[in-house]
A and B are shown apart, each in its own frame.
Chain A
Amino acid sequence: MSKLTGLTLKGAIDGLRAKSFSSVELAKAYVEAIEQARPLNAFVVETPDQALAMAAASDARIASGEAGPLEGVPLGIKDLFCTEGVRTTACSNILGDFKPTYESTVTSHLWRDGAVMLGKLNMDEFAMGSSNESSAFGPVTNPWRSKASNRALTPGGSSGGSASAVAADLCLAATGTDTGGSIRQPAAFTGTVGVKPTYGRCSRWGIVAFASSLDQAGPIAKSVDDAAILLRSMCGHDLKDSTSLDVAVPDFPSFVGQSVKGLRIGVPKEYRVEGMPAEIEQLWTDGIAWLKEAGCEIVEVSLPHTKYALPAYYIIAPAEASSNLARYDGMRYGLRVDGEALDDVYKDTRAKGFGQEVKRRVLIGTYVLSAGYYDAYYLKAQKVRRRIADDFTQAFETVDALLTPTAPSAAFGLGENVADPVAMYLNDIFTVTVNLAGLPGISVPAGLDAQGLPLGLQLIGRPLDEGTIFSLAGALEKAANFTGKPERWW
């Protein structure tokens, strides 16, 4: 059975079509792998019965020649996506035992195309975090370990369960969401591929809201091809999300493997930050050389407002979060702590239901939006956001895409950055700019550090130009020839 879980998404689709194995066999192999991997804490809900029933239905459709593009492939779903009848809590106590009576648009696209659900994946509470340690269900452990010690490492966050599950072969691929780097940073920490598409490509309907002007769904997968296949199914216009783009969904997989000859690649000088490990600097240099060999022209560019992206993000995201999370009032769903007066119910419910990081961000958001501070903070941050977006627009006048490291370090130890919120926030230094500008970005595993831990490179594209970064990611993947897998210890 272990052979089946070692497949790529594309390999599984081909094998199912060729009837080398059935979807039920595939689902059973994954259900078993998930049971054995509970020490990783990647899944917060396992749905084996549903998986086997969906797989049986897929086998029937394959037999009758009605297979969809994802027919019979078992996937993991981040707990931020509402799944009908299956507990969805965004890994927060405030949602209690919430079982949606509806399905998110993105997941409904996956089931439409024949995919099979294995369960819900752990994440930082409300997607607020970079280490998966703010989850109400406890942290996820990275299947990768450093050569030097067996200490538990973070898989990154907020899509930590998704990244860990894909890296440990607990699903063929997984959904994630990315508000400041929550798909790309965990992908880099686990040797997987993660894509955040252009804002508006994926409908946000039915995804628990964190910061609505930044949130985007995307895939975490084992290869660039796999990520392209999954993203193609996730995207599409949706009338239920007013920011959903009414544009055709390109055939993303057809871009992987295309020549990148003649493309101009920008290397932003501001991304050479102080204190960046030499190995990441080296990886970036390798990436530049690989793309040069593939026929790209490398151009140094300047994104002068880069250093202001994180501070702007930590006004905009908490402000939107404080507003979005106002809905958790203990009246209509989730937790309620009873009390004398209505205000007591609100305050005690929210005090008990929200974790520390969520409270911290709701307080910051409330503060920056409160009377007298709105202009100084919120409006200022939105103006800086425009400056950051303009930097990219200018760079894209001379280049077709940008190449940067994905994260400023390899996976760090659980507990290492918990005491210092700002140190934790700095994890997103290379990814957050992309969310503010609404651009597509992809992280590709490109090498291992001296401790044997994976490192990722990021490609950033023009709005709606995922195609070009898929071609470039394919070229990087081929040149890097990253074949590393975590050694099984769980």
Chain B
Amino acid sequence: MAIDAATVKKVANLARIREPDDRLEPLAQELSGIMAWIEQLNEVDTDGVEPMTSAVAAKLPMREDVVTDGGSVEKILANAPKADKGFFVVPKVVE
């Protein structure tokens, strides 16, 4: 299915990536090209096929629900663009 500039704009917004208006059309063409190539999957009969979500026989290992780690505030904040008094500093969200 062809992807148009409006769809690219919508998807870029969902992905939280700023794409300037003059990039929307070229991106639409690129992505349409890739999606057209992907369309060949429709040739495969997948009726009754169980989707494969993992390459390993998936039974998630369980562990005790207890605290195993903590007290690492400094390590956690070590790479923060902005931090203050043991907290991340983020832009104001609520007025």
The smallest C-beta distance from A301 to any residue of chain B, in angstroms, reads 19
Which of A239-247, A251-259, A446-454 contacts its partner?
A: A239-247
The smallest C-beta distance from A112 to any residue of chain B, in angstroms, reads 20
Given A314-B38, A387-B46, CB of A379 within 8 Å of CB of B79: no
Given A311-B40, A381-B41, CB of A422 within 8 Å of CB of B55: no
1/0 per residue, CB under 8 A from B, across A340-379: the answer is 0111011110110010000110111011001000000101
Q: Is the CB of B61 within 8 A of A351?
A: no
The smallest C-beta distance from B46 to any residue of chain A, in angstroms, reads 4
Given A308-B44, A350-B16, A384-B41, CB of A99 within 8 Å of CB of B78: yes
Q: Is the CB of B54 within 8 A of A331?
A: no
1/0 per residue, CB under 8 A from A, across B41-57: the answer is 11110100111111110
* B contact residues around A360 at 8 Å (CB): 27, 30-31, 34
Given A336-B82, A363-B15, A370-B14, CB of A422 within 8 Å of CB of B50: no
Given A98-B79, A377-B38, CB of A200 within 8 Å of CB of B56: yes
Q: Is the CB of B31 within 8 A of A367?
A: yes
Q: Is the CB of A363 within 8 A of B46?
A: no
In the complex, A109 Cα to B78 Cα: how many Å? 24
The reply on A335 being an interface residue by CB < 8 A is yes
The reply on A382 being an interface residue by CB < 8 A is yes
Q: Is the CB of A342 within 8 A of B17?
A: no
Q: Is the CB of B17 within 8 A of A370?
A: no
Contact of B80 among A99, A333, A338, A348 (CB under 8 A): A333
- Taking CB as reference atom, which chain A residue is nearest B51? A382
- Taking CB as reference atom, which chain A residue is nearest B16? A346
In the complex, A348 Cα to B91 Cα: how many Å? 13
Contact of B51 among A305, A311, A342, A386 (CB under 8 A): A386
- Taking CB as reference atom, which chain B residue is nearest A330? B81
Q: Is the CB of A351 within 8 A of B41?
A: no
* B contact residues around A245 at 8 Å (CB): 56
Contact of B93 among A342, A348, A379 (CB under 8 A): A342
Contact of B56 among A199, A345, A351, A436 (CB under 8 A): A199
The reply on A202 being an interface residue by CB < 8 A is no
Q: Is the CB of A243 within 8 A of B17?
A: no
* A contact residues around B61 at 8 Å (CB): 239, 242, 246
In the complex, A334 Cα to B46 Cα: how many Å? 42
- Taking CB as reference atom, which chain A residue is nearest B68? A239
In the complex, A2 Cα to B37 Cα: how many Å? 48
Q: Is the CB of A305 within 8 A of B16?
A: no
Q: Is the CB of A386 within 8 A of B49?
A: yes
Q: Is the CB of A311 within 8 A of B27?
A: no
In the complex, A76 Cα to B30 Cα: how many Å? 36
Instruction: Give the dominant DSSP class at B's interface.
Output: loop
Contact of B18 among A242, A350, A366 (CB under 8 A): A350
* B contact residues around A308 at 8 Å (CB): 40-41, 43-44
Contact of B53 among A330, A364, A382 (CB under 8 A): A382
The reply on A417 being an interface residue by CB < 8 A is no
In the complex, A302 Cα to B40 Cα: how many Å? 20
Q: Is the CB of A311 within 8 A of B38?
A: yes
In the complex, A389 Cα to B72 Cα: how many Å? 42
Given A334-B81, A367-B3, CB of A339 within 8 Å of CB of B91: yes
Q: Is the CB of B18 within 8 A of A347?
A: yes
The reply on A26 being an interface residue by CB < 8 A is no
* B contact residues around A346 at 8 Å (CB): 16
Q: Is the CB of B34 within 8 A of A422?
A: yes
Q: Is the CB of B37 within 8 A of A311?
A: yes
The reply on A332 being an interface residue by CB < 8 A is yes
The smallest C-beta distance from A313 to any residue of chain B, in angstroms, reads 10
* A contact residues around B50 at 8 Å (CB): 383, 386
* A contact residues around B38 at 8 Å (CB): 311, 314-315, 377
Contact of B90 among A314, A342, A362 (CB under 8 A): A342
In the complex, A50 Cα to B40 Cα: how many Å? 51
In the complex, A449 Cα to B2 Cα: how many Å? 40
Q: Is the CB of A363 within 8 A of B12?
A: yes
Residues in B lying within 8 Å of A, measured CB to CB? 3, 7-8, 11-12, 14-19, 27, 30-31, 33-35, 37-44, 46, 49-56, 60-61, 63, 72, 75-76, 78-82, 88, 90-93
Q: Offer 19 A-B interface pairs, CB within 8 angstroms, sorted by A.
A: A99-B78, A200-B55, A213-B55, A243-B56, A246-B61, A314-B37, A351-B17, A351-B18, A359-B17, A363-B11, A363-B17, A367-B3, A367-B7, A379-B51, A382-B53, A383-B46, A383-B50, A383-B52, A437-B55
Beyond A314-B34, A314-B38, A421-B34, list 12 extra A-B contacts (CB 8 Å).
A97-B79, A98-B79, A200-B56, A243-B56, A311-B37, A331-B88, A335-B81, A345-B91, A350-B18, A351-B18, A360-B27, A386-B49
